[in-house]
Structure 1
């Protein structure tokens, strides 16, 4: 099966306590590699500079991309991580990703900072059988010191198959907090994934399904949300079962966190994801809404 991804490749400077690491990142990498671990072909629509040091890593993992080279510098972030909290600074922004048709079973739109325009998102929705959205890149802004913050934004999410969001993103999209905001989103979206640290919920039709990730000491949390999202999308496309998709997504996130690796090294092997998913499948709670 095939997954298309619209997102910038990035360079991430990850700071954890006194340690600092430079790693390739962005949903382009985290989602792309997570999908490859699940046996999906991946077609990536992205942009990076002509001297980007990590493009060979995409090719090595058989992630397809074309027309990606830009005259502008690669998007770069500095991430300061403290347990579940992280602070971002934006150093560079590469070129906008233009719309192109991608022959795929589903398209994941996951911008990091305005590289996908609302107009391009509309074209993707019209062209794709299933469109998945992580909206963070539509909501991010920077202050005079390049620190990233979120801002209330009008974005047309109608026609989206799956949206993944946290409490801050829900408020920025709807102007409402928590479940009130989720319920507004449910009017236009088939599946709403709502992540609040350890608590993960899926709103589908008239039910809320929920699971809780185990409490553990955290190290590098960068990319875990992308791994979760890509695993959910791929499992839903392949299995057509929302409970297995939620279980696999939770299982992949847990395995990534348990690895205590930095950057892309935390993307889990399929076996670790499956082991955790089997446990979560039997612990999912649900209620009618």
Structure 2
């Protein structure tokens, strides 16, 4: 699990302010534990993380000395949910970059930077070193840029070499930036063909679109009122990765990913507290989506 540990200040739709551990490395490592995987965090944090060591251990994360930066603080974001959907994001502090030396050999990798702590060059180095291994990429942190007041926005275009990557999860804005403005299924096809990706996952509103070979699958998530949607993309990417590695069945893997997301929302909890700890609940939701998933063959 490669990303910065994050301390999130979450302002939800009810106006409640909650501080929570966050970042893909926390959300993903905890969910991997539910899937009964051990997780090796490739991460960096500041010395201000020491009062969260107990919580990190519960997240399946035990930091090594080399992962604690003696100078830079832990990466911090303020996330303010908006009534019309989405959120405003502000960077409050940033830790030091993650390099190839911070990323140990493993059976599979989820590469998901939050604010360019993993460079495109480092991604290429990982792919080259781990040739033929399973690599899931969430490009969110490659796209983000920070304004003068700390406000975080996305670049409209980015060049990212995905050759050798197994799977990518990208929303519509990220698809557009990676393809030069092409979104939806056409954008997914473009990415898949350009980089020979095995799996492309995209999210739009309450839909999960999944492209494998020449079949497009779609899952319509039940709309659930939840106070906090932070980390759902991390849950989706990790849920798919764990389920696929375990069973090697792409269709069941995307259903388990969707099941993980909806189980988190059903908890009505905030931050990492919403990460599902019950495989039984995830499996129940995954089975529902397996029986309702739609698909079509494309050219």
TM interval, short-chain normalised:
over 0.9
Paired residues of 2:73 and 2:95 also in contact (CA < 8 A): yes
Unmatched 5+ stretches in structure 1: none
Residue 37 (str. 1) matches residue 34 (str. 2): yes
Equivalent of 2:121, from 119, 122, 141? 119
> Which one has a larger percent strand, Structure 1 or Structure 2?
1
CA RMSD of aligned residues (A): 1.3
Equivalent of 1:275, from 284, 291, 294? 284
Residue 10 (str. 1) matches residue 16 (str. 2): no
Shift of 1:217: 1.6
Distance 2:123 2:294 in 1: 33
Distance 1:131 1:65 in 2: 22
User: 1:1-289, aligned counterparts within 5 Å?
Assistant: 5-16=1-12, 17-52=14-49, 53-66=51-64, 67-70=66-69, 71-82=71-82, 84-100=85-101, 101-128=103-130, 129-151=133-155, 152-175=157-180, 176-187=182-193, 188=195, 189-268=197-276, 269-289=278-298
Distance 1:235 1:166 in 2: 21
Paired residues of 2:30 and 2:60 also in contact (CA < 8 A): no
Shift of 1:75: 0.3
Per-residue CA deviations over 1:213-240 (Å, capped at 9, x if unaligned) read 0022232000111111101000001100
Describe the SS at the equivalent of 1:112: coil
Unmatched 5+ stretches in structure 2: none
Q: Give the 3 Å change call, closer, same or farther, for CA 147–200 of structure 1 in structure 2.
A: same
Paired residues of 1:43 and 1:65 also in contact (CA < 8 A): no
Describe the SS at the equivalent of 1:6: coil
Per-residue CA deviations over 1:238-277 (Å, capped at 9, x if unaligned) read 1000011011000010011111101011001212111100
Paired residues of 1:110 and 1:137 also in contact (CA < 8 A): yes
Shift of 1:123: 1.4
Give the TM-score normalised by structure 2.
0.92
Shift of 1:61: 4.4
> Which one has a larger percent helix, Structure 1 or Structure 2?
2
Per-residue CA deviations over 1:178-218 (Å, capped at 9, x if unaligned) read 22221210111110001112110110111101111002223
Give structure 1 regions of 4+ aligned residues with deviation exceeding 4 angstroms. none
Deviates more, 1:213-222 or 1:63-72: 63-72
Paired residues of 1:233 and 1:245 also in contact (CA < 8 A): yes
Distance 2:263 2:250 in 1: 20
Per-residue CA deviations over 1:87-110 (Å, capped at 9, x if unaligned) read 101111100011135232111100
Describe the SS at the equivalent of 2:198: strand
Paired residues of 1:11 and 1:24 also in contact (CA < 8 A): yes
